[in-house]
Structure 1
Amino acid sequence: MPALPACILNPLRTQFLDLLHTALPPVPDTHPLGCHRPRIPDDVVFDHLISALVLGVGYEKIATDACSATTMRRRRDEWARAGIMAQLHTSVLTAYERLIGLELGHVCIDGCITKAPCGGQCAGRSPVDRGKGGMKRSQVTDGTGVPLAAVPAPANVPDHKLLAASLDNLKDLAPLGGDVTVHLDAGYDYAPCRQELDARGLAASISKRGTPIQVGRRWVVEAANSWMNDFAKLRRCTERTELAVQAYLDLAMAIVTLRALWRRAHKQYRWEGRPRSARLR
């Protein structure tokens, strides 16, 4: 049984292979005798990495005769160094912008702490889990909760110290207008954060420290964090390198964005072969 519905996995795989073969041409079979083990097809490895992301189990648990754990690790690092996962997320965002439209007048940012029991470059003492290993990601979304970027860091890094890095990721999107409002929680209610936003010409809607309940538009980034935590690899991250963690974050954001695109497009458009139900299957 596939880890994702076919309406999400099939177009995602097709777009990924197109980007991959553009950035990294296929490896030719140059052995003079042709007696070596053939290279595992990229689509097979991609499906196994999707299973690792969704299920969160070790590579040995999902390895099959068609794809070994070593092949998954090697190909994961090869694709991550080439930036294929980031390009995949960008291409899905571009499709969403063209068909639905991103709400960039409101940008929401928040941090989310998850477990990182194996340590690594993005792991640190978690302040919410008795000092155990944890990872934090600074999640950036548009006004409707579509994930735009995610910055990984150790769990003991304060949210406000990741604000600049999170805003830097928005430079790859269309130029933001002058009426953009960044919605933040009380963890960003510090003078350096306001100065950073002022320097970029961005308006700020920051919750006040010490006030228990404050109504705002931040709930969409909380929903995005929940969607991202549906992926067990991110909920309990066992990757030790920042390169691999960022690759899985980009892949997860591409899936969440494509799922949102499917549901919104089903309501607004009609096309040949369109299913009558918006249910993902």
Structure 2
Amino acid sequence: MLCGILYVLHTGIPWEYLPWGLGFGSGMPCWRGLRDWNEAGVWQRLHEILLAELNAAARLDRSRCVVDSSHVRALKKGGQHTGPSPVDRGRAGSKHHLITDGHGTPLAVLLTGGNRNDVTQLLPLLDAIPPVRGRVGRPRRKPDALFADRGYDHDIYRDQVRARGIVPAIARRGTLHGTALGTYRWVVERSFAWLHGFRRLRIRWERRADIHEALLRLELPRVS
């Protein structure tokens, strides 16, 4: 069943077209398995286990985190968490909002409509970071600094980030390029490139938001 889910995720084919000859069985049991495992929190627990192992091996950079978003076209009109995309002529779309550590390891991902402003998901992304175990002491959730592009330029949100004990390093609108923030932010763009290398994530086919989110969460441990 898991192999069938991964096959759909990689190829982007409809669930009902999953080839019987590969030994995966019917596509709909795989779809239901993806739904049920996601509802049971399986993908989230796997992601937290991997983060703990990376932390124990000193392979997480918790000194800073990086946030960004990416548009994906939604071909099922009227689905949950879709909206007119301002970068795709108003067509229905969704946004993937991602936060990574300083190395680009995904910490959390959120799904919204394509018309949702990036900055509105800044605090929810910080809240979605799980407590990372793997070392002696209290599990850590809070990075030291947060890097973001001009889409997150808002002083109210800067103040709220500071109130959490995090230093905001957010580019300001109207300033010239060359602030050197890109030397830190590129890692989240690379992580998006990895995620969207899977055809089922590059275009949103699922009308149900929970199914698309399940595919996103399934890929976080693999991208990590």
TM-score normalised per structure 2: 0.89
Distance 2:111 2:145 in 1: 23
Partner of 1:182: 146
Counterpart check, 1:208 vs 2:165: no
TM-superposed deviation, 1:100: 3.9
Contact 1:118 1:238 in 2 (8 A): yes
SS state at 1:218 partner: helix
TM-superposed deviation, 1:194: 0.8
Amino acid at match of 2:10: V
Contact 2:108 2:129 in 1 (8 A): yes
TM-superposed deviation, 1:162: 0.6
Higher gyration radius (CA)? 1
SS state at 1:85 partner: helix
Partner of 2:20: 64
Distance 1:140 1:103 in 2: 13
Partner of 1:166: 125
SS state at 1:196 partner: helix
- How many residues align structurally? 212
Contact 1:134 1:154 in 2 (8 A): yes
Partner of 1:222: 189
Partner of 1:73: 31
Deviations 1:58-107 (A, max 9, x none): 11222416411221121111111101111121122222222242101010
Counterpart check, 1:155 vs 2:114: yes
Partner of 1:198: 162
Amino acid at match of 2:47: H
Counterpart check, 1:116 vs 2:80: no
Counterpart check, 1:131 vs 2:90: yes
TM-superposed deviation, 1:212: 4.5
Partner of 2:200: 233
Give percent identity, aligned residues only: 30
TM-superposed deviation, 1:171: 4.1
SS state at 2:168 partner: strand
TM-superposed deviation, 1:226: 1.1
Partner of 1:243: 210
Unaligned stretches of 5+ residues in structure 1: 1-44, 258-281
Counterpart check, 1:83 vs 2:41: yes
Unaligned stretches of 5+ residues in structure 2: 133-138
Aligned equivalent of 2:8, options 39, 46, 52: 52
Amino acid at match of 1:50: L
Amino acid at match of 1:131: G
Amino acid at match of 2:35: D
TM-score normalised per structure 1: 0.72
Distance 2:14 2:169 in 1: 41
CA, structure 1 residues 183+91, in 2 after alignment: closer, same or farther (shift >3 Å)?
same
Distance 2:112 2:140 in 1: 26
Deviations 1:106-162 (A, max 9, x none): 100011111111131121111101111111011100001111111111110000001
Amino acid at match of 2:123: A
Contact 1:122 1:240 in 2 (8 A): no
Contact 2:107 2:130 in 1 (8 A): no
Partner of 1:3: none
